[in-house]
Structure 1
Amino acid sequence: MLTDALLAFLHFTAIFVLVTLMAAEAVVLRPDMPPSAVRRLSQYDFFYFLSAMVVLATGLLRLFYGAKGVDFYLHNPWFHAKITVFVLIALATLPPTFAFARWRKQSLKLPEFVPTPAEIKKVRRWVMIEAHAFILLPLCAVMMARGIGIH
């Protein structure tokens, strides 16, 4: 029981860190973004990736070592929906990650580099897609935890 509680705590903490970093990216991605923000976005994105890996790792640990056991989750359609949403969000992070890497490279060559407002808008749209898709994860989680949909 203690293991399950600690894994849940670590999982939720990693999720909160991930959401905070996603929000930070969205806040910084503005047309009037200063050059220093380009470097900050790269850092946020790196820590976003790390927190996503911790979310995944703690989720897998909960799957295999949590109180409910693997069989509960593998036969639960909401578990599969949650994993699908997580993968879709991960795919949506790729365009911003690639853009941040390009921008960082540019900023190393030209310290005053700032992407165009159109580029910023395009990347911010992807971050907002991630944020809106993220809302589905708690829905899947509560449905899954209550065994809804298991026959």
Structure 2
Amino acid sequence: MEILLRYLHFVSVFALAGTLFAEFFLIEKSLNRKQIQVLGKIDGLYGISALTLLAVGLTLWLGGYGKPTEFYSQNPTFHLKLGLFIAIGLISIYPTVFFIKQGKGLPDQIVNIPKLVRWSIYTELILLIIIPILACLMAKGIRIL
């Protein structure tokens, strides 16, 4: 069971990163509604991968698979990693709502994308890049705080 959970955790990480990179490369200053709908679908997959990653991660942490629960619970590096993940989730709300609202209408209609939507995606990506470093440190028992 542990191997299956770790595999699902690993695949979820790649799905999350892949969809976020796709959003990063597809977002522009203005898009038509059809392009926004595509971004909305990608964002939906991003959300599913994030929820899967969170559920599996919590199961690995609290289910006692592999290292004891205390190993993670008492490690400030783990808390920082989890905090960054939560921050990414909160930051992602605004682009998600924007894509849902602006995806409705005539497909060829042009929509200006607010800077905050673009910067939210950029910020999520920067924070996401930090998390694997924290995971490596955490796995070795290195506490950075």
TM-score strictly above 0.5:
yes
**Alignment partners' CA distance in 2, 1:57 and 1:103:** 30
How many angstroms does 1:36 deviate by? 2.0
Partner of 1:67, secondary structure, is coil
Two-structure CA RMSD over aligned residues (Å) = 1.7
Q: Which residue in 2 is equivalent to 1:75?
A: 74
Structure 2: stretches of 5+ with no match in the other structure: none
Structure 1: stretches of 5+ with no match in the other structure: none
Partner of 2:110, secondary structure, is coil
Q: Residue 38 of structure 1 contacts residue 100 of structure 1 at CA under 8 Å; is this kept in 2?
A: yes
**1:93-112 pair list within 5 angstroms:** 93-105=92-104, 107=105, 110-112=106-108
**Alignment partners' CA distance in 1, 2:143 and 2:49:** 30
* Matched positions, count: 143
**Alignment partners' CA distance in 2, 1:139 and 1:49:** 22
Q: Establish whether residue 126 from structure 1 lines up as the match of residue 120 from structure 2.
A: yes
Q: Which residue in 2 is equivalent to 1:62?
A: 60
- Give % identity: 33
Partner of 2:85, secondary structure, is helix
1:3-44 Cα shifts (integer Å, max 9, x gaps): 333222110100100111111111111236344211101111
Residues 9 and 50 of structure 1: CA distance in aligned 2, closer, same or farther (over 3 Å): same
Q: Which residue in 2 is equivalent to 1:15?
A: 13
How many angstroms does 1:59 deviate by? 0.4
**1:129-144 pair list within 5 angstroms:** 129-144=123-138
**Alignment partners' CA distance in 2, 1:134 and 1:12:** 14
Q: Residue 92 of structure 1 contacts residue 126 of structure 1 at CA under 8 Å; is this kept in 2?
A: yes
**Alignment partners' CA distance in 2, 1:129 and 1:38:** 19
**Alignment partners' CA distance in 2, 1:47 and 1:84:** 22
* TM-score, normalised via structure 1 length: 0.86
Amino acid at match of 1:24: A
Q: Residue 33 of structure 2 contacts residue 103 of structure 2 at CA under 8 Å; is this kept in 1?
A: no
Please identify which structure carries the higher strand content: 2
